[in-house]
Structure 1
Amino acid sequence: MRLRVEFTTEPFDLDEAPPHALVAREVISSAGLDAVDVGPFGNTAEGGADQVLGAVDALLRQALASGATRVSLQVNVIEGDR
C-alpha cells in the first residue's frame, strides 16, 4: 500500500524557518520517500506504508523535541493502491 503524508509544524515564523520546521523537513527528506515537496505552507511526501509510517513517527518525535507546539498531519491511501 502506498501512502501520502501532508504536514505542517507550528509555531510559524514569517522571517525564517524555525528549528522544528527544519528538523521535520530533514526527517522527511532523508526518509527515502518519493515525491517529496517541501514548501513554506506545507509539505508532502509519498511512499510505501512502512516507510511513511516510520517517517511520521520520527517526524512527530523530532519536531516536538525541537520546539514544535503543534504538528498537523494528514495521511491518505493513494488511490488505486489499496
Structure 2
Amino acid sequence: MRLRVEFTTEPFDLDEVPAHALVAREVIEAAELDAVDVGPFGNTAEGPADAVLTAMDALLRKTLESGATRVSLQVNVIGEASGE
C-alpha cells in the first residue's frame, strides 16, 4: 500500500523557524519517502506504508521532544505499492 501524509507542527512563529519545524524537516527528508514537499504552512510526503508510518512515528516523537505543542497529520491511501 502507498500512503500520502500531510502534516504541520505548532506553534507557528512567523519571525523564526521553530526548533520543532527544523526537526520535522530533518526527519522527513531523511526518511525513505517519495515526493517530499516541505513548506512553511504544511508538508507532504508519499511512499510505501511501512516507510511513511516509520517516519511518522519518528516525526511525532522528535517534534514533541523539540517543543511542538500540536502536530496535525492526515494520512491517505493513494494506491498499491509497486509490485503488488
1:81 matched residue in structure 2 = 80
Deviation (angstroms), 1:81: 2.5
2:32 and 2:26 map into 1 onto residues whose CA distance is 11
Residue 69, structure 1, aligned to residue 69, structure 2: yes
1:20 matched residue in structure 2 = 20
- Taking structure 2 as the reference length, the TM-score comes to 0.93
- Taking structure 1 as the reference length, the TM-score comes to 0.95
Ranges in structure 2 where 5+ consecutive residues have no aligned partner: none
User: What is the root-mean-square deviation in Å for CA atoms of aligned residues?
Assistant: 1.1
Ranges in structure 1 where 5+ consecutive residues have no aligned partner: none
2:76 and 2:9 map into 1 onto residues whose CA distance is 18
Give the % identical residues.
83
Runs of 4+, deviation exceeding 2 Å = none
